[in-house]
Amino acid sequence: MAEWRIQYEPKLTQKTALYVENVNIVRKDKNLKRIRGLDNRAVSFLYAAHNQRIDRNIFLNSFSLFGSNYSLSSVLRSPRVLYTGAALSLEKDSSAVFEQFKVVIELMGEAGFLADSNFIGVAAYLIATRAEPADYQSIVERAYGYYNELKNRPHFLASESKYPYMALFGLSNIEVSDGLMRLEQLYQQYMSRLPHASQTNIQNLVEVLFLIGADENRVLSLIDALEKIKRPDRFSMFTVGYLSSIPVDVGTLADEINKTQKYLRKQRGFKLMSKVDLYLAAAALVANTYASEGSLLFDLIIAYNFAFAFNEIFNVPRQEGSPVTKRSLN
């Protein structure tokens, strides 16, 4: 606990305040008000994760890269474009990155991914910025190999909302056959340890553990610690996965998440936030405080926050598995 307070608590305090500031910048700016609810919080977290305050002009100018086919009104309501524009605004050479992004989008469409999906922007951006152009083709093919194989396994949900995670699988350089074997092993392992968890929650957990690994005892101890702060069950196993990779005492992690939740609840723009959303925001902030920019942990947190936001707001008509609940855009 002492080490956390000295090394990480000041960073968490600053990052959380920056996140709140960004959320309210978007809320109050007449040109950004189209970015609502979870979309706002996902964009604001992206900036806070990079320790940046949202600059309206830089943010809006990044969308000019999409050309005359996109009006500002439409792009700020499009998850696929919103994520890419927000991420581009943080790049030093946004034009060059955008060209790489377009190449990956085309490759993903050719491989079998739905190029007009709300979730493909996150996936394509991860590949475009984390790999060399010469490797794009093989990474996309490997990512689709995972996606296509998981579609045929009844206890795994394979839908558009999984595109960002498939991109990370592709980037892992773990061949599909070996990866699927490991995913199955992890799935059976944690299904037996967590018999009351849903299949979807187990999948969310093992997808992260497959990428980053974690000791089983630590994972189970973290679940117990988080339950003491009344962690909501829904959508939370993914956070257990990435939090378990952080070499900080599980009690300290749970305590910091709980304090962050309480702080956020008191801030303007967060008082009506659901308990699930509040927990997810607090867990992401705590984990991101430890994650170094460009690391797998950093990418996992960013990808999950956007995928969760888009999954919750928009119906996915091509969802294979349980239907996605449509929530208010307000």
- The type of residue at 99 is E
* Separation in Å, CA 81 to CA 118, 209, 309: 8, 29, 14
What pLDDT digit, counting tens, does each position of 74-107 carry?
A: 544 565 677 888 898 999 999 999 999 999 999 9
**Contacts with 112 (C-beta within 8 Å, 6 or more apart), sequence order:** 144, 147, 148
In a domain, residue 323? The reply is no
Answer whether 60's CB lies under 8 Å from 72's CB. yes
Least confident segment among 22-31, 277-286, 290-299? 290-299
Residue 326 lies in a domain: no
Amino acid at 113: F
Residues listed for the chain:
330
Number of structural domains found in the chain: 1
Give pLDDT tens digits for 209-243: 999 888 899 999 999 999 888 765 555 788 899 99
Residue 319 lies in a domain: no
Specify if 125 maps to a domain: yes
Residue 55 lies in a domain: yes
- Rounded to a whole number of angstroms, the CA Rg of the chain reads 19
Choose from 57-71, 177-191, 290-304 the range with maximum mean pLDDT: 177-191
pLDDT band at 266 (very low <50, low <70, confident <90, very high): very high
Q: Is residue 207 in a domain?
A: yes
pTM above the 0.85 mark?
yes
Parent domain of 258: 2-313
Would 320 be classed as within a structural domain? Answer: no
Q: How many Cβ atoms sit within 10 Å of the Cβ of residue 233?
A: 12
CB 285 within 8 A of CB 48: yes
Max avg pLDDT among 76-80, 128-132, 292-296: 128-132
Residue 120 CA to residue 83 CA, distance in Å, equals 10
Closest CA to 100 of 120, 69, 129, 65: 129
**Hey, what are 199's tokens?**
């299949």
Is pLDDT at 164 greater than 60 in this prediction? Answer: yes
Please report which confidence band the pLDDT of residue 316 belongs to, taking 50, 70 and 90 as the band edges.
Answer: very low
Here the tokens at position 93 are 């050479």
